[in-house]
Amino acid sequence: MLPKTFIRHISQFAGVRDAAKYVPRRALLYVPASNQKMLDKIPMMQADSVVIELEDGVALTAKAEARAQATVALDKIPYHSLACQELGLRVNSVSSGLLEDDIKAVSKAEKLPHAFMVPKVDSPEDLVTIYNIFREHYGDERITNTNTRLVIWIESARALLDMPRILSSTLNLHKQAGFFKLDAVVFGSDDFCADIGATRSSHGTETLFARQKFVTCCKAFQLQAIDSVYIDIKDLDGLRRQSAEGRQWGFTGKQVIHPSQVSVVQEQFLPPKERIEWAQELVHAYSEHESLGKGAFQFRGQMIDRPLLLQALNIIQLVERVQN
């Protein structure tokens, strides 16, 4: 593996974030905050990103209980000894009318999650509401003096079409106002299909266009792209095929709804050995050409420029973190 200082040096050349801060999210596993037994198991869960869930996984009648249990869990869970890479908290959406109740409750916890996760962001105007609610209950100091990241969901036709403006506005909130930094975006396939009137299927052709447009928008802004849920939890072969497809398309991870799906998904989103070797050798070659003041060059028969360098760095950063 390449030295971390070397990777940071090359990352600065390429204009990407510090490799030491990279958070892998190959599998994103939901844990309903209304289920105390599941919350108690979080420290042992192996998914890269474990998400305390206040939204779809919690019945409307159990929202208050879920908020209370999530608030306790944030302070009780031992962050330093988690098996996962990230502990997230998914709140309810702006459109639900429940977001402020969620934030008012969980802001009472002393600790913040590694990432706040906000579903159904349909427009830049939603972001203004989200930002104002967080500011009111957390205050500017707690928001700006933290490494907590932001993850948002795109789940409607309107959001998909307006995605570049949504992502740009979210990133600008971090740069200009110190809000949590957007790190990843998740495609909500079930709500998207309901919005356009499509029927969900195991092969997923009904979301083919949406998933490809989604991942393209994410990568245009150098953000992680998290793929849709595979709904048949017993069909691990189908899950494996769709995960491999997603990785080939450029997705960096996938949502999972059952612990049995985690190992399958994380294996598929870990690059094969030959791809890792390609990335390491490419970065070395790029460093040599950069020191000579050269731009694009040939490597293994390919013309190499900044976009391919970014692909290589993403691979190296992922492998570094999951093998620590």
How wide is the angle at C-alpha 77 spanned by C-alphas 74 and 79, nearest 5°? 95
> Which residue among the candidates 18, 75, 140, 305 is catalytic per the annotation?
305
Start-to-end CA distance of the chain, whole Å, equals 11
Is 100 annotated to bind a ligand? Reply is: no
Q: Is 305 part of the annotated catalytic residue set?
A: yes
CB 132 within 8 A of CB 163: no
Burial 98-116 (b: 16+ CB within 10 A, else e): bbbbbbebbbebeebbbbb
Q: H-helix or E-strand containing 281?
A: helix 273-291
Three-state DSSP state, 53: strand
What number of CA atoms fall less than 13 Å from residue 233's CA on the CB side? 9
Instruction: Please give, one letter per residue, the 3-state secondary structure of 58-125.
Output: CCHHHHHHHHHHHHHHHHHCCHHHCCCCEEEEECCCCCCCCHHHHHHHHCCCCCCCCEEEECCCCCHH
Sign of dihedral through CA atoms 77, 48, 140, 106? negative
Is 90 annotated to bind a ligand? Reply is: yes
Is 55 annotated to bind a ligand? Reply is: no
Enzyme catalytic residues: 305
Binding site: what residues are annotated?
A: 90, 155, 191
Binding site for Mg(2+): what residues are annotated?
A: 155, 191
Binding site for substrate: what residues are annotated?
A: 90, 155
